[in-house]
Every structure is written in C-alpha cells, then in structure tokens.
Amino acid sequence: MTDNRTFESQADSGWAMSGVAFAATMMLMIGAFHAIAGLAAIIDDEYFVRIRGYAFHLDITTWGWIHLILGLAVIATGVGLFARQTWAGVIALFLVVLSAIDNFFFIPYAPFWSILLIALDVWVIWALTRPRAIRH
C-alpha cells in the first residue's frame, strides 16, 4: 500500500525545485524594488536627476506612479505564483516583460538600478519558460 503523503511531498518538492518558486521569489523582490523607487519619485520629485533631451521624457512623479502600480501588480502576481494559481504564470510573464520595458525607458534616470531590474526580469522569464523535467 502506498502512502499519499509520499506522493504529495514529491510533487511539492518537484514544484519547489522548478523555476516557479524562484520566479515567485524574484517577483516579490522586483515588485518591492519597483514600489520603493516609485514611492521615492512620488514623495520627492527631485530624487531622480532630470535628463535633458531624453526622447522619452515623462515627469518624475508620473514615472513614480508607473513604478508603484507595476510593483504592486508584480507583487500580487508573485503571491499568485506561490499559491499555484493558474492565471499567475501568464500574467507573470506579461508583467516582467512590461517591467523590463519600463526599466529600459528609466535607464537615464537610474542606470545601474534599471539594468539590474532588467536582468532580474530576464531571469524570471527564463525560470518560468524553461522546460520541466518529466516526473515518473
């Protein structure tokens, strides 16, 4: 007779070893980073240095709201991934692509920070799209 707990723990272990747990954790961090940068821009409009002649110029406060809203959405989706919600995988891919694009446009204001977040976004995309091992 086989114990159901053994199968459940193997499934849980397989899920934890997959990229989903990593992606969910990274999404919580990325979302927090976005929210912190957004709050900094909203609270102090002079926090980020203004770049003259930048083709994609937006008001710093506008960038702050974009970062804050995107950050909260990324955090919520990361929580959804942890809860194994089926909608969270597709939404996660959409949001991290949006996050990477947002950070690309934000490079002149915070170059190191933006490139770091783009790299984390790419890592999450990789973790969510890599092929899963076949379990027997």
Number of domains in the chain: 1
Look at residue 65 and tell me if it is in a domain: yes
* pLDDT for 120 beyond 80: yes
Alpha helices, DSSP H, located in the chain: 4-17, 19-43, 60-82, 86-106, 111-129
| Mean pLDDT for the chain overall | 82
Look at residue 12 and tell me if it is in a domain: no
Summarize pLDDT for 5-24 with one digit per residue, the tens: 544 555 555 554 578 888 99
Residues in contact with 27: Cβ distance below 8 Å, sequence separation at least 6, in sequence order: 74, 75, 77, 78, 81, 92, 95, 96, 124
* Residue 118, pLDDT score: 96
Residue-range definition of the domain harbouring residue 36:
27-46+56-129
* Residue 135, pLDDT score: 40
% of the chain residues with pLDDT over 70: 77
Look at residue 98 and tell me if it is in a domain: yes
Look at residue 5 and tell me if it is in a domain: no
Summarize pLDDT for 104-117 with one digit per residue, the tens: 988 888 889 899 99
Look at residue 13 and tell me if it is in a domain: no
Summarize pLDDT for 25-55 with one digit per residue, the tens: 999 999 999 999 999 889 987 777 767 777 6
Look at residue 51 and tell me if it is in a domain: no
Look at residue 14 and tell me if it is in a domain: no
Look at residue 78 and tell me if it is in a domain: yes
